[in-house]
Amino acid sequence: MTTARRPGTGLLRVPGDAEYVSLRVSVRDDRGGSVTQEIIRAVGMK
């Protein structure tokens, strides 16, 4: 994935034979806090 010009956005290139896209996001702050979110089969591809 490549970062787009606006913070919090990106560009994802998906192979033509993909059936689904799963997403995983991790964030961390400067005080040591963190969270990870994973969504399996978040988007179905046509």
pLDDT at 2: 53
**pLDDT, tens digit, 9 for 90 and up, residues 1-45:** 555 567 777 788 899 999 999 999 899 999 999 999 999 999 999
pLDDT at 6: 73
Close Cβ partners of 41 (under 8 Å, ≥ 6 residues apart): 20, 21, 22
pLDDT at 3: 56
pLDDT at 34: 97
Partner residues linked to 36 by β-bridges = 26
| Neighbouring C-beta atoms of residue 29, cutoff 10 Å | 8
Close Cβ partners of 15 (under 8 Å, ≥ 6 residues apart): none
| Neighbouring C-beta atoms of residue 27, cutoff 10 Å | 9
